[in-house]
């Protein structure tokens, strides 16, 4: 495949070289082969300045056709055009994500359905936004009328991770565009390739110059200056807790709005009345989907002592059926390589830590002896709550399992983490499930399943998993400010304002 734009940035509607030329070259690697796919040209703070300025001017523009003052129904066709082109290029984009990320091709295809669906959904939401404008608020004083208007927050700096390059971009770009914001996007330097293709699609869709800008590069060169830039009104970030702290700290300099979707160490609690076959399927899916590289992965399995041994036995049997190999093989189930050498070494370090701390390695744990960053699906049993593999996010195909005896113990173990993104409970007892739902300290709870995500429902966490919500109406509200407009309806020029009796 020809990589047409890897030496360019997209700023103010044009593909342009970085200010410092091609002095920063970033290798992009195929994790299946460890071979270099290409080198992209990285940007610097100077390019961020130019991109933010373009986004600022596009947002502040007035008059006919100005993006921020268009009606939602006028912005919606742009989003639908993007969605349509994503569908048309689905196979190419999915292959590119698998090549760059290592996720199985079939999973990348499903991701693309969600990406296109996200833009289509927020096209609808943009139209619905018009119907919410100027709704009256009931007041105790009929001399006044108050209506509510919704306005875009302004210029958005969007920083996305490497595990879902297109999907995480869509979760930010689609609602931001629907709201009337302008955007500067920084993709991960590890997996930047589909960001170029998405940018070309946005250009084809005719989105006005400056509304969308792409500035790729290292975090220190692009992410940091973008987060602290005085021309940015909101930073939307998905990634690690460590980087999230840096982003939030930088953003405080300008008192700008921030939303953070960070890591997780989500529990899946399996009670004794759960169906063992179904429970095993959901545990496997929650731990090993996308090679285990999901922030919401239910990588801590809490299994009731009465069925513990049976579940472990079946988990091992099913894990042995997973093919570890090239993302484009047709084997099902299968997992591909983890994303890069750094992640590979980190995961192997966690596996070694689990062994050293006394957890029982029930399956997997082996590194690849050939080319590629392949790691077997790995299952640790008899894991204690003070162990490294239980407490910290691994972001790889590693499942930690422990047993519990009472509902109270299960709740304590499930909540005994600094994270709070997702949690799952499997049980046929509806009342018990409802108790667990209330007790979980998490932003997302799954009952008798794990990991489904729908664009209509809110996504986000608590504690170190961040704050703010993406998707659904909440995702749109992330990019809107509320304006109160109050009018005095009585024509009474004989009194000054402060003589009017206060309605409060």
Do residues 7 and 22 make contact, with C-beta atoms less than 8 angstroms apart? yes
Question: Residue 221: what pLDDT?
Answer: 97
Question: Residue 501: what pLDDT?
Answer: 59
Q: Which domains does the chain have, with CATH numbers?
A: 16-262+465-484 (3.40.605.10), 267-447 (3.40.309.10)
Burial of 359-373, coded b for 16+ CB within 10 Å and e otherwise, reads beebbbbeeeeeebb
Q: How many residues in total does the chain contain? A: 504
Query: Is residue 137 within a helix (H) or strand (E), and if so which, with residue range?
Result: strand 135-137
Catalytic residue among 97, 107, 189, 261: 261
Q: Burial of 457 by CB count in 10 Å (0-12 exposed, 13-18 middle, 19+ buried)?
A: middle
| Residue 261 is a catalytic residue | yes
Q: DSSP of 476-493, one letter per residue?
A: HHTTEEEEEEEEE----T
Q: Burial of 432 by CB count in 10 Å (0-12 exposed, 13-18 middle, 19+ buried)?
A: middle
What are the distances in angstroms from CA 341 to CA 34, 187, 345? 8, 19, 6
Question: Residue 14: what pLDDT?
Answer: 98
| Residue 295 is a catalytic residue | yes
Question: Residue 493: what pLDDT?
Answer: 59
Q: Does residue 16 sit in helix, strand or coil? A: strand
pLDDT tens string, the chain, 504 residues long: the values are 678 899 999 999 999 999 999 999 999 999 999 999 999 999 999 999 999 999 999 999 998 889 999 999 999 999 999 999 999 999 999 999 999 999 999 999 999 999 999 999 999 999 999 999 999 999 999 999 999 999 999 999 999 999 999 999 999 999 999 999 999 999 999 999 999 999 999 999 999 999 999 999 999 999 999 999 999 999 999 999 999 999 999 998 888 999 999 999 999 999 999 999 999 999 999 999 999 999 999 999 999 999 999 999 999 999 999 999 999 998 989 999 999 999 999 999 999 999 999 999 999 998 877 899 999 999 999 999 999 999 999 999 999 999 999 999 999 999 999 999 999 999 999 999 999 999 999 999 999 999 999 999 999 999 999 999 999 999 999 999 999 999 999 876 555 555 555 555
Strand partners, 498: none
Catalytic residue among 118, 181, 295, 402: 295
What are the distances in angstroms from CA 300 to CA 28, 316, 445, 478? 32, 16, 14, 30
First to last CA, the chain: 66
Can you give the pTM of this predicted structure? 0.96
What does the alpha-carbon distance between residue 298 and residue 468 come to, in Å, rounded to a whole number? 21
Query: Could you tell me which of 356, 359, 276, 350 has the C-alpha nearest to residue 313?
Result: 276
Question: Residue 491: what pLDDT?
Answer: 73
Number of helical (H) and strand (E) elements in the chain, helices listed first: 15, 24
What does the alpha-carbon distance between residue 308 and residue 303 come to, in Å, rounded to a whole number? 6
Question: Residue 85: what pLDDT?
Answer: 98
Question: Residue 30: what pLDDT?
Answer: 97
Do residues 365 and 355 make contact, with C-beta atoms less than 8 angstroms apart? yes
What are the distances in angstroms from CA 443 to CA 5, 168, 293, 323? 38, 18, 19, 33
Question: Residue 503: what pLDDT?
Answer: 53
Strand partners, 422: 444
Question: Residue 254: what pLDDT?
Answer: 84
What are the distances in angstroms from CA 122 to CA 18, 66, 243, 465? 32, 19, 28, 25
What does the alpha-carbon distance between residue 406 and residue 439 come to, in Å, rounded to a whole number? 14
């Amino acid at each position: 495949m020809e990589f047409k734009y890897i030496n360019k940035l997209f700023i103010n509607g044009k593909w342009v070289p970085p200010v410092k030329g091609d002095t920063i070259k970033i290798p992009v690697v195929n994790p299946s082969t460890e071979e270099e796919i290409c080198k992209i040209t990285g940007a610097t703070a100077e390019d961020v300045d130019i991109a933010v300025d373009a986004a600022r001017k596009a947002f502040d523009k007035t008059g006919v056709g100005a993006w921020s003052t268009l009606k939602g129904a006028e912005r919606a066709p742009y989003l639908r055009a993007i969605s349509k082109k994503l569908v048309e290029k689905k196979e190419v984009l999915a292959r590119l994500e698998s090549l760059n990320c290592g996720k199985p091709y079939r999973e990348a295809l499903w991701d693309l359905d969600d990406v296109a669906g996200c833009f289509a959904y927020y096209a609808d939401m943009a139209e619905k936004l018009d119907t919410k404008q100027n709704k009256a608020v009931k007041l105790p004083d009929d001399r006044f009328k108050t209506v509510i208007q919704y306005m875009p927050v302004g210029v958005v700096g969007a920083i996305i991770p490497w595990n879902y390059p297109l999907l995480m971009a869509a979760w930010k770009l689609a609602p931001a565009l629907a709201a009337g914001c302008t955007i500067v996007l920084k993709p991960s330097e590890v997996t930047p390739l589909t960001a170029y293709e998405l940018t070309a699609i946005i250009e084809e869709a005719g989105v006005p110059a400056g509304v969308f800008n792409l500035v790729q590069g290292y975090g220190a060169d692009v992410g940091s200056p973008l987060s602290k830039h005085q021309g940015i009104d909101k930073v939307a970030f998905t990634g690690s807790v460590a980087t999230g702290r840096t982003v939030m700290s930088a953003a405080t300099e300008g008192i700008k709005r921030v939303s953070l979707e960070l890591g997780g160490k989500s529990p899946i609690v399996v009670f004794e009345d759960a169906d063992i076959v179904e429970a095993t399927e959901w545990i496997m899916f929650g731990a090993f989907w996308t090679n285990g590289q999901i922030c919401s992965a239910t990588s801590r399995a809490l299994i009731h002592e009465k069925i513990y041994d049976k579940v472990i036995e079946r988990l091992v049997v099913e894990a042995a059926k997973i093919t570890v190999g090239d993302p484009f093989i047709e084997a099902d189930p299968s997992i591909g390589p983890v994303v890069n050498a750094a992640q590979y070494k980190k995961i192997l370090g966690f596996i070694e830590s689990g062994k050293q701390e006394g957890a029982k390695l029930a399956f997997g744990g082996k590194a690849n002896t050939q080319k590629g960053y392949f790691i077997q699906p790995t299952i640790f049993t008899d894991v204690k709550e003070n162990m490294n593999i239980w407490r910290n996010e691994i972001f790889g195909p590693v499942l930690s399992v422990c047993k519990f005896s009472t509902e109270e113990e299960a709740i304590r173990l499930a909540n005994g983490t600094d994270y709070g993104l997702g949690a799952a409970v499997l049980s046929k007892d509806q009342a018990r499930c409802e108790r667990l739902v209330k007790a979980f300290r998490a932003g997302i709870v799954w009952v008798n399943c794990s990991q489904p995500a729908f664009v209509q429902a809110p996504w986000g966490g608590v504690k170190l998993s961040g704050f703010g919500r993406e998707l659904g109406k909440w995702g749109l509200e992330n990019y809107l400010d509320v304006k109160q407009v109050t009018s005095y309806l009585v024509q009474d020029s004989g009194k000054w304002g402060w003589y009017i009796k206060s309605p409060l």
